[in-house]
Amino acid sequence: MSDLLSLRQVSAGYGEAIVISKIDLQLKAGESLAVLGRNGTGKTTLLSTIMGVTRHRGGTVTLLDRDLTAVRTDIRALAGIGWVPQERNIFKSLTVEENLTAVARPGAWTVARTYEMFPRLKDRRANLGNQLSGGEQQMLAVARALVLNPKLMLLDEPTEGLAPIIVDELLAALKRIIREEGMSAIVVEQHAQKILGVTDRAIILDRGVIVHASASHTLIDDPAPLEQHLGVTGRKKSVITRASGVDLTFATPPLRVREANVKSKTPLES
């Protein structure tokens, strides 16, 4: 079976700066991938490059064998890539329902179905985007990507800054979307314990290159690569949720250099 997504020797960045270098990455339909690493290692840039908002410096990006390397961001969205950026980029002056109906495309994921996935949104469907909590805005951002009925979803730090109870609720929904519904997805997360129980595979980025690639369960069973590349030293405990119930010990990472502060709008915002 051919790959859904393929990156071959992809290099990209901002201006003259090259942030990711010679990335080789393939994802099959129905597969999910966690992208791990400290801040400033190129995680967001990798997703932005797949979406087409960075400066391309080499290599090719293909979706179902269609070369998207030189294709505009809005065309990539129409080709089947749904993007949930860190900034969420919902329409704050529209209601929840208007946010969804404004971008919905025909397919299995309808507005009603996203309400089933996120009951909070149904309860708040008449509220404006700027009247939602941070967690509700993130749920709306995910729902907006879903009603595009994409072939592939890109999620950039979906749990960042959210209250623990909302994180649990959102991760449970993502697990259903990815595991039960078979949505192909690439999820950027700084904290491995939040996402390895959801995804099939994982990569670790360091200084813009892939330094480790494995099945997610392999990292759960043997966290040595996390300790090596994420600076894990055992000072702060967290738990990876998995059927077998594995407890792993993680440390708060040291101070990091942040990636280029470039805010990009989704293809559907003006």
Residue 9 lies in a domain: no
Residue 2 lies in a domain: no
Residue 161 lies in a domain: yes
What share of the chain has pLDDT > 70, as a percent?
85
Question: What is the per-residue pLDDT across 21-41, written as a single tens digit (0 to 9) for each?
Answer: 999 999 999 999 999 999 999
Confidence (pLDDT) at 1: 59
Does residue 119 surpass a pLDDT of 90? yes
Provide the whole-model pTM: 0.84
Residue 4 lies in a domain: no
* pLDDT average, residue stretch 225-252: 50
Annotate 154-215 with DSSP letters as a single string.
Answer: EEESTTTT--HHHHHHHHHHHHIIIIIS--EEEEE-S-GGGTTTT-SEEEEEETTEEEEEEE
* pLDDT average, residue stretch 117-131: 96
How many residues would you count in the chain? 270
Q: Pick the residue with more confidence: 267 or 128? A: 128
Place of tokens 């039960």: 180
Q: Which range of residues forms the domain containing residue 147?
A: 31-52+72-250
Confidence (pLDDT) at 25: 97
Residue 111 lies in a domain: yes
Residue 61 lies in a domain: no
Does residue 186 surpass a pLDDT of 60? yes
Confidence (pLDDT) at 235: 37
Average pLDDT, the chain: 87
Cα–Cα nearest to 206, from 6, 19, 66: 19
Tokens of 223: 């966290």
Residue 65 lies in a domain: no
Q: Is-contact 210 203, C-beta < 8 A?
A: yes
How would you label 147-181 residue by residue, b for 16+ Cβ within 10 Å and e otherwise? bbebbbbbbbbbbeebeeebbebbbebbbebbeee
Confidence (pLDDT) at 244: 31
Confidence (pLDDT) at 231: 75
Of 167-176, 194-203, 243-252, 259-268, least confident by mean pLDDT is: 243-252
Report the domain count for the chain. 1
* pLDDT average, residue stretch 113-132: 96
Pairing of strands 66-67, 55-63: antiparallel
Residue 98 lies in a domain: yes
Place of tokens 């502060």: 261
φ, ψ for residue 109 (rounded to 5)?
Answer: -90, 100
- Give the span between the Cα atoms of 21 and 209, in whole angstroms: 6
- Give the span between the Cα atoms of 189 and 193, in whole angstroms: 9
Confidence (pLDDT) at 194: 86
Tell me, what CATH number does 198's domain have? 3.40.50.300
